[in-house]
């Protein structure tokens, strides 16, 4: 319970740090990026927009920093993250319309690659020292390939040359979005290739980690005991695998961040709607309000995923539940 509260405390603190960083960074960066932005926008957008940006980033206001900070929190609590400069729509509205594509794509990819990668890791850890070990260099190479590069190659091979998959977008643009079978089928069809590229590039990491843990676990005494008892091989393997998977789950925090970072670019390659695509265009257009909103959203989602991983760990490892207060 204590450890659970501690983890929660860390996430709350991280959330606070992210929100504060969003406030502090544009104000303290050398070269005053906001002033430069306003200079560039002069005459290109409406005066109201400039006034809104000035208010959001505390330009030309004579309020002390902490008053601005309080004001910033007040706005956040009302779900107000400013107005996107390029899209001329509230950031919260833009995000809530686009985030489900990303969560659907990356979430599915993460779950699929974790399950397949861990299962393969168990198998290769079990058969260590055999010919199956030659998978290691291949997996290492695959792990080092940037997600976006693999995506590009997949497009070139399967969409460009062989015409097996649609190239870009998230659904057939001739269909009307809605709950029709044709639309859902086309969404699934368009997600296949981006999903494959994320799964392929993140799979190897899970697999190698799991294999190493499996190799270590298999030489524990309890596995010897299980063999000595005469349990069938499959039960012994399952026995060892359940124990070996714990560090993988404990490491989810680190890997989820990497996975999300990598996957954001896959969206851009496939021209898939979603937060990653928004992020890239926001950076290109120096759309700071949108950029900040995206950063908050991504960090919060990753924190939420970490929390889920912690709960999973709690369920899987009975020791965390009986841990005495130390």
Partner 1 sequence: MRSMRVPRSPKVLVGLCILGIFILLTLIGPWIAPYDPNDTSFVPNLRPSWQHLFGTTTLGQDVISQLLVGCRVTMVVGFIAGTLATIISLVVGLAAGYIGGRTDEGLSLLSNVFLAIPGLPLLIVINSYLPAGEQANPLVVGLVIALTGWAWGARVLRAQTMSLRDRDFVEAARIIGESRWRIMLGEIGPNLLPIIAASFLFTILYSVGVYTTLAFLGLTNVATWNWGTMLYWAQTNNAALANEWWWLAPPGIAIALVGTSLALINFGIDEFINPRLRAAGLTARQRRRVGMARRPRLGFTPVQRSEVRKKGASS
* Contacting partner 1 within 196-255 (CB under 8 A): 212, 215-216, 218-220, 223-224, 227, 230-233, 253-254
# residues contacting partner 1 (CB under 8 A): 76
In 3D, which of 33, 35, 18 has the Cα closest to residue 72? 18
Three-class secondary structure of residue 90 per DSSP: strand
Smallest distance from partner 1 to CB 262, Å:
8
Q: How many CB atoms lie within 10 A of CB 214?
A: 25
* Residue 280 sits in the site that holds partner 1 (CB under 8 A): yes
* Residue 149 sits in the site that holds partner 1 (CB under 8 A): yes
Candidate residues 60, 70, 79, 160; the one interacting with partner 1 per rule CB under 8 A:
160
* Start-to-end Cα distance in the chain: 12
Smallest distance from partner 1 to CB 182, Å:
26
The tokens of 22 are what? 């969003």
Span 289-318, contacts to partner 1 by CB under 8 A: 291-292, 294-295, 298-299, 302-303, 306
How many helices (H) and strands (E) the chain has is answered by 14, 0
166 burial (CB, 10 Å; 0-12 / 13-18 / 19+) is: middle
Candidate residues 164, 167, 184, 312; the one interacting with partner 1 per rule CB under 8 A:
167
Of 119 and 231, which has the nearer Cβ to partner 1? 231
Long-range own/partner contacts, residues 132-140 (CB < 8 A, 24 or more apart): 136/208, 136/211, 139/204, 139/207, 139/208, 140/204, 140/208
Candidate residues 96, 180, 261, 271; the one interacting with partner 1 per rule CB under 8 A:
261
Span 126-145, contacts to partner 1 by CB under 8 A: 128-130, 133, 136-137, 140-141, 143-145
Alpha-carbon 49 to chain mean position: 31
Select from 44-52, 71-79, 110-118, 275-283 the region that touches partner 1 (CB under 8 A): 275-283
């Amino acid at each position: 319970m204590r450890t659970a509260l501690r983890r929660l405390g860390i996430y709350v603190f991280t959330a606070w740090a992210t929100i504060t960083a969003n406030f502090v960074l544009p104000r303290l960066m050398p070269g005053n990026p906001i002033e430069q932005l306003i200079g560039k926008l002069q005459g290109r957008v409406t005066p109201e927009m400039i006034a809104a940006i000035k208010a959001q980033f505390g330009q030309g206001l004579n309020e002390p920093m902490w008053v601005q900070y309080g004001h910033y929190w007040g706005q956040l609590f009302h779900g107000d993250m400013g107005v996107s400069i390029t899209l001329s729509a509230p950031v919260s509205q833009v995000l809530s319309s686009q985030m489900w594509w990303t969560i659907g794509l990356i979430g599915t990819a993460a779950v699929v690659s974790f399950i397949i990668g861990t299962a393969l890791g168990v198998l290769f850890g079990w058969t260590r020292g055999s010919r199956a070990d030659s998978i290691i260099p291949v997996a290492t190479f695959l792990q080092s390939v940037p997600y976006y590069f693999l995506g590009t190659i997949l497009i070139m091979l399967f969409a460009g040359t062989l015409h097996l998959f649609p190239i870009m977008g998230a659904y057939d643009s001739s269909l009307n979005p809605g709950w029709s079978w044709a639309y859902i089928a086309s969404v699934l069809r368009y997600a296949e290739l981006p999903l494959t590229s994320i799964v392929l590039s993140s799979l190897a990491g899970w697999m190698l980690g799991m294999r190493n843990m499996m190799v270590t676990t298999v030489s524990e005494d309890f596995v010897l005991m299980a063999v000595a008892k005469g349990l069938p091989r499959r039960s012994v393997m399952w026995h060892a695998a359940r124990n070996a998977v714990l560090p993988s789950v404990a490491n989810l925090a680190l890997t989820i961040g990497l996975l999300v970072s990598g996957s954001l670019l896959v969206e851009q390659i496939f021209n898939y709607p979603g937060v990653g695509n928004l992020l890239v265009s926001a950076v290109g257009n120096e759309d700071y309000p949108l950029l900040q909103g995206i950063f908050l959203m991504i960090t919060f989602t990753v924190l939420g995923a970490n929390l889920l991983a912690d709960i999973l760990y709690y369920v899987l490892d009975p020791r965390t539940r009986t841990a005495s207060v130390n």
